[in-house]
Structure 1
Amino acid sequence: MTTPAPATAPPLRIGAACTGWIGGWALHGPVTAGARATVTFVASRDRDRARRHAEANSVPAYGSWPELLMCSDVDAVYLATPNSDHLTKARQAVLAGKHVLCEKPLSCDASAVEELLALAARRGVLVQEAYHYRDHPAVARVLAALRAGAIGRVRRITVDYGWLLDRPCDVRLRPELDGGAFLDVGCYGVDLLHSLVPGTWSVLDVQAVRGPTGVDLESRARLALRSPHPVRAEVRAALRAPATVCEAHIEGTEGAVRLLSPFAPVPPPGAGTAGLGFRAEWEHSAGAPIEPVPIRAATSYHHQLDAFAARVASRAPAETAALVSRARVLAEVRNRMEKNR
């Protein structure tokens, strides 16, 4: 996806379907720090909650979701509702002519995602899934180097991402809202596979440990891509890890690299992951050493917001193939979990 320099994009006016903590990381913190966007509306089913959130973050307007969609001061919407609600609201936003930045995962229904993207193309709006880490310059440079053959042809990818969810009423513990470890953090691993080696990934097997509510608290999926060259992968996810783990190991025909904290290159304030910070440990590489990008204080959420504004301004197309393929893989993982109950 081609993206112009963020500084050349006009500030994007965003309506937030979000009154939770993620809004601080993904929107309000970056806007305060100078991101090329502004939050002009906050929507919630609870009008009083929307009002409190708007006042706390100096947002000029608030109200219901239908009011957000009718607001002429909103160019794009940021969706951070429960997973099960993403696709419906994204479609409603597209029909209203709004661009969409949707928290992951957008959906596990590949056909519905394909239909949504076709509708968005006809309406001239962008739909983007919020895998924020890919817009951080340090991570982006390493991923580009790997795609260019820094360790030869990629043969195996292992991703491990987990943390401790100790809030018993959290929506991620509710199966009817598409909760669970794999849809919360395992999806990052699925995205990394598609970013490094695009293609049709197949799910070989899935293992899961379920909690009292029925969602997976720990899960592991083994995957394979057979064409044009075979690649094997394993993605592990956890919501009950005693300590936060966030790393990936990529092996190639001419080397290997370990990525530490790839999905949280600069942890947001209050993230509780102060010990994390992105770095790449090259075990061997096929060419010259990859020069690291200095990590400044801006988080990947800040970079994501700048890049999203730039893509909207440049009328960049959606990553249709990747969005559809990720949804198909997540659906297959979830289906296998159900069969293995």
Structure 2
Amino acid sequence: MNWGIIGAARIAKSALVPAIREAGGTVHTVSARDPKKAAQFAQENHIPNSSSYEELLDHPDIEVVYVPLPNSEHLEWTVKALEAGKHVLCEKPLTLSADQARRMMDAQQKSGKLVLEAFSYRFHPQVQRMLDVLKEGKIGDIRLMRSVFTFPLDRPDDIRWDARLGGGAFYDVGSYCVDLMRLVTREVPQQVHVSALKTEGEVDITLGALLEFSSCQGQLLCSFEMPFQQSFEVFGTKGSLQLEAPFAIDNYESHLTVNGQAETFDKINVYAEMVRHFQQAIRGETELRFPIQDHSLQQMLILDRVLNATNHPRV
């Protein structure tokens, strides 16, 4: 399957180009606004073609595109790719609001193509195992979830410091915490309570939130100024479970602990697993997991409520 990459981003180089190849796909073309940057990226990553965004979308041999652009550009270029007859794997967060998610859903339905939000962690076996454990009732009825995802973002010119581009710790890493809680509950919280520390440019640098679901609470912490940490814990009426690395992205041996008993998972490239699944769904070999109408829209409804509570600049 021939892939095009819209945007010569770091994550494309470090994660998606190798994942596409490991999953049996071909990276046909990379595009960038700067032709020199696209050509350099293509040369360094052994990609045969470089082009503009528009030229990539017009190419008849490209079947699916990956969009790792700034968050503020996800809607525009995903919709353009759909209108050009391409399937789209788009980085998270898929959009910057529920209204944008609805517009993307409309474009996807009209095109008949598939869109997948690139939460690669979902494709780690530990996540499905955790969901199975919860469904089996091994820790009883869920009463509390806690998730943390922090790391120091020390590049002052990083686009994640720009509110106009959809920056902020919550969009970048807090969205993982929300997504996993929503996978567990299948709900949108009834109430949210939020505390955020923001830069002068109105970007949340550290954010804590309490999400009140119908029968349990979710507590999350995300930050661009704390040491690297990620965790997920669920407490129930009969016990508890912990994922020490819930959002592990690449070749990391991880552990799920249920009521004190640990289960180890082998190293796995979750990006390659995500790409492999998406290609299979495009070929009609399996149903697409996590379609945007069932997952991404609900995710954006929650992100809207949290960010509205911080008076975050909204689109």
Q: Same fold (TM over 0.5)?
A: yes
Q: What are the residue-to-residue correspondences of 1:10-29 with 2, within 5 Å?
A: 12-29=1-18
Measured in 1, the distance between the counterparts of 2:273 and 2:198 equals 35
User: What is the letter of the counterpart of residue 138 of structure 2?
Assistant: A
1:338 is matched with which residue: 292, 311, 315?
Answer: 311
1:283 is matched with which residue: 247, 253, 259?
Answer: 259
Tell me, yes or no, if the aligned pair for 2:161 and 2:167 is still in contact at 8 Å. yes
2:29 is matched with which residue: 41, 45, 53?
Answer: 41
Equivalence for 2:223:
238
Shift, 1:265, TM fit: 5.1
User: What is the letter of the counterpart of residue 305 of structure 2?
Assistant: E
Q: 1:304 is paired with a residue of what secondary structure?
A: helix
Aligned length: 310
User: What is the letter of the counterpart of residue 83 of structure 2?
Assistant: L
1:171 paired to 2:159: yes
Q: What are the residue-to-residue correspondences of 1:171-210 with 2, within 5 Å?
A: 171-210=159-198
Equivalence for 2:240:
256
Measured in 1, the distance between the counterparts of 2:266 and 2:230 equals 17
1:302 is matched with which residue: 269, 272, 276?
Answer: 272
Measured in 1, the distance between the counterparts of 2:39 and 2:193 equals 46
Shift, 1:127, TM fit: 0.8
Shift, 1:120, TM fit: 1.3
Task: Rate the CA distance shift 1:100–1:265 in 2: closer, same or farther, 3 A.
Answer: closer
Measured in 2, the distance between the counterparts of 1:44 and 1:203 equals 41
Task: Rate the CA distance shift 1:51–1:210 in 2: closer, same or farther, 3 A.
Answer: same
Task: Rate the CA distance shift 1:211–1:279 in 2: closer, same or farther, 3 A.
Answer: same
TM-score (norm 2): 0.92
Equivalence for 1:328:
301
Tell me, yes or no, if the aligned pair for 2:193 and 2:309 is still in contact at 8 Å. yes
Identity of paired residues, percent? 30
Shift, 1:20, TM fit: 2.0
Measured in 1, the distance between the counterparts of 2:244 and 2:263 equals 16
2:98 is matched with which residue: 86, 89, 110?
Answer: 110
Poorly superposed stretches of 4+, deviation over 6 Å: none
Q: 2:178 is paired with a residue of what secondary structure?
A: helix
Q: 1:240 is paired with a residue of what secondary structure?
A: coil
TM-score (norm 1): 0.85
User: What is the letter of the counterpart of residue 298 of structure 2?
Assistant: S
Shift, 1:119, TM fit: 2.8
Shift, 1:143, TM fit: 2.8
Task: Rate the CA distance shift 1:148–1:66 in 2: closer, same or farther, 3 A.
Answer: farther
User: What is the letter of the counterpart of residue 251 of structure 1?
Assistant: F
Tell me, yes or no, if the aligned pair for 1:17 and 1:79 is still in contact at 8 Å. yes
Structure 2 gap segments, 5+ residues each? none
Q: Higher RCO, 1 or 2 (CA under 8 Å, sep at least 6)?
A: 1
Q: 1:45 is paired with a residue of what secondary structure?
A: coil
User: What is the letter of the counterpart of residue 118 of structure 1?
Assistant: D
1:53-82, Cα deviation, whole Å (9 max, x unpaired):
011111111111111110112111111110
1:7-37, Cα deviation, whole Å (9 max, x unpaired):
xxxxx321101312101233222244x2232
Shift, 1:203, TM fit: 4.0
1:30 paired to 2:15: no
Tell me, yes or no, if the aligned pair for 1:113 and 1:324 is still in contact at 8 Å. yes
Tell me, yes or no, if the aligned pair for 2:127 and 2:246 is still in contact at 8 Å. yes
Q: What are the residue-to-residue correspondences of 1:62-77 with 2, within 5 Å?
A: 62-77=50-65
Shift, 1:161, TM fit: 0.3
Tell me, yes or no, if the aligned pair for 2:96 and 2:166 is still in contact at 8 Å. no
Equivalence for 1:6:
none
User: What is the letter of the counterpart of residue 256 of structure 2?
Assistant: A
Measured in 2, the distance between the counterparts of 1:148 and 1:92 equals 43
Tell me, yes or no, if the aligned pair for 1:15 and 1:39 is still in contact at 8 Å. yes
Measured in 2, the distance between the counterparts of 1:54 and 1:147 equals 46
Equivalence for 2:74:
86
